[in-house]
Amino acid sequence: MTSPTRPNTAPAPAPVPVLELSGIVKEYPGTPALRILHGIDLTVEAGELLAVVGPSGSGKSTLLALLGSLDRPTAGRLRFEGRDLAALTDPDLAALRAHRIGFVFQQFFLLSGLTTVENVATGLLYSGAPVSERRARAVEALRSVGLGHRLEHRPDQLSGGEKQRVAIARALIGRPALLLADEPTGALDSVSGTAVVELLRALNADGTTVVVITHDRELAASFPRRVALQDGHVESDERLPQPTGAGR
C-alpha cells in the first residue's frame, strides 16, 4: 500500500458556528401550554448576514429573544460560539450579552433625557470601562454610523433614521460578534430604512455576524440568506446562489 501524499499542514479546524440551534421549542405557560416555536434547527456561521422573515405572529421576536439569550427555550439545545447556554447562569448570560451580542429594535429604545453620546455610552455600562473611555468609544461609534455631527442632540431632536443609527452605534460600541436586529426598519420611511440596511451590510462586511428579523419579504429578498418562519416552524432556508465570476 502506498501512503497518501500528506499536506504540509493539518487542515484548519472547522470554525465554530456563532449560533447552533437544535430542536428549539418555546412554550408559554397556560392550560394547555401555548407552543410558539415548534422545534427550530438553525446554524448561523460567523460572518453571515441573514434575514429571518415571516408574517406577524410567526414567532420571530420570540426566536430573537432566544438567539440573544434574553430568554431560555422550553426544550432543545442552543449553542452560542460553541457554548451550551443551558449550562450558563443568568449572570453568565448577562455577561455574554454585554460582551458578545448587540441588539437593535424597531422602537429604538433611546433614553429621552440623554444626548446621543450618552445613549451610546450606555452600551458599555456593564463593561467596566471608565467613563472617559466609554465616552471616547461612543464618539467613535457615532462617527462610524455617520452621526459625528449629532453628538449632543437628544432623541427628540433626531429623525427616525438618525435615532436608529444611534441605536446601532449603541449596539456596536461593545464590538459584538453578533448583531440582532428586530424589525430595524419597521418605524422608518423607505429612504431611512434603506440607509439603515446599508449600514447593517457594512457592519457585516467588517466581520460582524448580522441577523435581521423582518416581516418584509421585499427587504428579506435582498439578503444572501433568508430563513422563513411560519407558525413557529422553519418553512424554508434559502441562500442566494454565489455570484458568478467572483473568486476562483
- Which residues of this chain interact with ligand ADP, rule CB under 6 A? 28, 34, 36, 54, 56-62
- Quote the least distance from Cβ 60 to ligand ADP, whole Å: 3
Helix axes 131-144, 160-172, angle to 10 degrees: 130
Q: Give the single-character DSSP code of 236.
A: E
Cα gap 207→217, rounded to integer Å: 25
List the single partner that 109 binds among Mg ion, ligand ADP, none, CB under 5 to 8 Å by kind.
none
Among positions 18-77, residues that touch Mg ion (CB under 5 A) are 60-61
Cα gap 8→138, rounded to integer Å: 46
- Quote the least distance from Cβ 183 to ligand ADP, whole Å: 8
Query: In terms of CB distance, is 61 or 122 closer to Mg ion?
Result: 61
Query: In terms of CB distance, is 192 or 214 closer to ligand ADP?
Result: 214
- Pick the closest to residue 159 from 167, 199, 172 (CA basis): 167
- Quote the least distance from Cβ 184 to Mg ion, whole Å: 12
List the single partner that 57 binds among ligand ADP, Mg ion, none, CB under 5 to 8 Å by kind.
ligand ADP
- Quote the least distance from Cβ 37 to ligand ADP, whole Å: 8
Please answer whether residues 210 and 133 qualify as being in contact, where contact means their C-beta atoms are separated by less than 8 angstroms.
no
List the single partner that 73 binds among ligand ADP, Mg ion, none, CB under 5 to 8 Å by kind.
none
> Could you give the angle at the alpha carbon of 190 between the alpha carbons of 120 and 50, nearest 5°?
70
